[in-house]
Structure 1
Amino acid sequence: MKKALIFQGGWQGHEPEKVAGILAGILEEEDFNVKITNTLTTLQEDDLTQYDLIVPNWTQGTIEKDQLQPLIDAVAQGTGLAGLHGGEWEIPSVWK
């Protein structure tokens, strides 16, 4: 099974927790085992190369160099990185 990491947080106006839940549901439908975290320290503590995909869902925060470097290294070794612009979400009726 594929593995994905979503790290969510930052400005609450983009509803990161809600968006992370929606994204996790979509990924789980595509046979991903999804881990959601609400702290950037996960980037330092986890072996990021174990993930097939990492989804940053963080707005208006600061990522420190020692948090960013493991992410850069994992991507350089083949881990996928999904771009995301946070947003206020309504679940489309087709997903309910």
Structure 2
Amino acid sequence: MTRKKALVVRGGWEGHQPVRATELFLPFLRSKGYAVRIEESTDVYADAAEMAATDLVVQCVTMSQISAEQLAGLTAAVVAGTGFTGWHGGIADSFRASSDYLHLVGGQFATHPGKEPCERVGGQEDNYLPHTVTITELGREHPVTAGIEDFELHTEQYWVLHDDLIDVLATTTHPARPWQPWHRPVTSPAIWTRRWGAGRVMVTTPGHSLDVLENPAVRTVIERGMLWATRTASAS
């Protein structure tokens, strides 16, 4: 039987530890029979032959930039059936200058609200808030999130801008705190999927740090998401 091919693309902002974060999931991919290729830049996206032979792209590239040729190659591969997945800023806060990338993914990081100003000390922890990730009705039936109960995190809580073509498996709600400018709670997608051509896109917004990625619920969602997003026989 032909082995599935996974391409791990990592880089961008070092605060998300792209090397150490992706290394957490390499044993899982290999245990599931994937042949894994690792790239430290998005140049590979412009290699049409390599992308056509790839069944799953796992991206961990926060911010950074992508060329028109690279994005066209990634998009064409997804449309043809290559799966595309990632977590946190590595997929939902990539390539801010590219509206076409946003169109592919279906949701884009806007902010992560912080603590009350008097409690901030100037580090990343200023944006760590306790919050709940709530599985939706769709999520309770979806293979990525079925059997996972609502879970609590104390980390960055992503607020994303999104469209209606995503299938939301879990949400998180940002309360209207006195020091914030919004006037009512805002519910944001936290885990979602998207069909794009013959391909599947899977986004998990928790994952700011290694301890969050090692949370059993988060890790399960990411690992199941890799399997779900992988090219299916009908897309071959």
TM-score, L = length of structure 1: 0.86
Equivalent pairs, count: 94
Distance in 1 between residues matched to 2:58 and 2:73, nearest whole Å: 14
Structure 1 residue 19 corresponds to structure 2 residue 21: yes
| Counterpart residue number, 2:76 | 73
Match of 2:39 among 29, 37, 40: 37
CA distance in 2, matches of 1:69, 1:81: 14
* Paired amino acid for 1:27: L
Q: Which residue of 1 aligns with 2:52?
A: 49
Secondary structure of the corresponding residue to residue 27 of structure 2: helix
Same amino acid, percent of matched pairs: 31
1:8-49 per-residue CA deviation (whole Å, 9 max, x = no partner) reads 001111000011111222211111111111011111135201
2:39 partner amino acid: T
Q: Which has the higher contact order (CA 8 A, sep 6+)?
A: 1
Matched residue SS, 1:17: helix
CA distance in 2, matches of 1:14, 1:82: 16
* Residue identity matched to 1:41: D
Q: Please tell me whether Structure 1 or Structure 2 has the larger radius of gyration of its CA atoms.
A: 2
Q: How big is the shift at 1:83?
A: 3.2
Which structure's residues are more often helix, by fraction? 1
Q: Deviations over 1:51-93 (max 9, x none)?
A: 110111100111121110011001111111113214321474x
Q: What is the RMSD computed on CA atoms of the aligned residues?
A: 2.0
Three-state SS of the structure 1 residue aligned to 2:23 is helix
What amino acid is the match of 1:36?
I
Q: Hey, what's the Cα distance between the residues in 2 that align with 1:44 and 1:32?
A: 22
CA distance in 2, matches of 1:83, 1:89: 14
Once superposed, which parts of structure 1, at least 4 consecutive aligned residues long, lie more than 6 Å away?
Answer: none
Q: Greater strand percent: which structure?
A: 2
Describe the SS at the equivalent of 1:83: strand
